[in-house]
């Protein structure tokens, strides 16, 4: 009888220890997931800030370069596409992030074309409103870079946490799945060619 009671106490102690460990790790995973969600919200916030600057930039350029209609249309269309793709942090996966990143890359390319147009218009380049918008856009691009870096760090920490033993055993049971990372844009591995 004494052996049976000892076995029951040992089993109860193991179960209690397991539940305690699981609870602590579960709470840690929730914190890590919240960090990813918050970082993703900041990424979206900075991309939205950029999108909000574009109509003013387009209108400023439009006033100086009426015959650059094609460039202005491309920027407006790219902005519309980029702002139409919004991903809830719960829906972050490789496919959705790739679509989001592609739309943002198209917008970045269109913006580069728009800013290149300004080179042909000295009055536009000297316009205070245009210079102000260009400065805000540059600052926003820096904020986007920082937000993406913070997101990448949060995802790395979260993905590592759900793959560590013993957490990896039950992380999937509670719905903790890996989050996707941003990928380098095509051609990023090649250094730009500089000619003098």
**pLDDT-based confidence at residue 10 (cuts at 50, 70, 90):** low
Kindly write down the DSSP assignment for every residue of 4-35, as one continuous string. HHHHHHHHHHHHHHHHHHHHHHHHHHHHHHHH
Name every residue whose Cβ is closer than 8 Å to that of residue 32 and which is 6 or more positions away in sequence. 154, 157, 158, 161, 162
Query: Dihedrals φ, ψ of 66, to 5°?
Result: -60, -30
Kindly state the average pLDDT of the residues 102-127. Answer: 84
What's the confidence (pLDDT) of residue 32? 93
Q: What tokens does 24 get?
A: 């602590």
Instruction: Quote the pTM value.
Output: 0.77
pLDDT > 70: percent of the chain: 85
The whole-angstrom separation of Cα 187 and Cα 109 is 13
CA 71 to chain centre: 26
What's the confidence (pLDDT) of residue 186? 64
- Of 26-30, 124-128, 132-136, the one with minimum mean pLDDT is 124-128
Asked if 112 contacts 99 with a C-beta cutoff of 8 angstroms, the reply is no
Name every residue whose Cβ is closer than 8 Å to that of residue 138 and which is 6 or more positions away in sequence. none
**pLDDT-based confidence at residue 114 (cuts at 50, 70, 90):** confident
- Mean residue pLDDT of the chain comes to 83
Q: What tokens does 44 get?
A: 């979206």
Query: What number does CATH give the domain 2-171?
Result: 1.20.1440.20
Spell out the domain ranges in the chain. Answer: 2-171
Q: What tokens does 25 get?
A: 């790790």
Number of residues in the chain: 196
The Cβ-side half-sphere exposure at 19, using a 13 Å CA radius, reads 6
């Amino acid at each position: 009888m004494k052996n049976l009671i000892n076995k029951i106490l040992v089993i109860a102690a193991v179960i209690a220890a397991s539940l305690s460990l699981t609870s602590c790790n579960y709470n840690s995973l929730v914190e890590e997931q919240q960090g990813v969600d918050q970082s993703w919200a900041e990424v979206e916030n900075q991309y939205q800030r950029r999108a909000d600057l574009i109509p003013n930039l387009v209108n400023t350029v439009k006033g100086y370069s009426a015959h650059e209609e094609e460039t202005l249309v491309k920027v407006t269309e790219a902005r519309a596409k980029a702002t139409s793709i919004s991903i809830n942090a719960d829906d972050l996966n490789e496919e959705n992030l790739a679509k989001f990143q592609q739309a943002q890359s198209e917008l970045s390319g269109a913006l580069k074309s728009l800013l290149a147009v300004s080179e042909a218009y000295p009055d536009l380049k000297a316009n205070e409103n245009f210079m102000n918008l260009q400065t805000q856009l540059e600052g926003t691009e820096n904020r986007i870079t920082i937000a993406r870096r913070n997101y990448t760090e949060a995802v790395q920490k979260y993905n590592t946490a759900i793959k560590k033993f013993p957490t990896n055993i039950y992380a999937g049971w509670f719905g903790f799945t890996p989050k996707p990372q941003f990928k380098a844009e095509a051609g990023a591995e090649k250094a730009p060619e500089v000619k003098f």
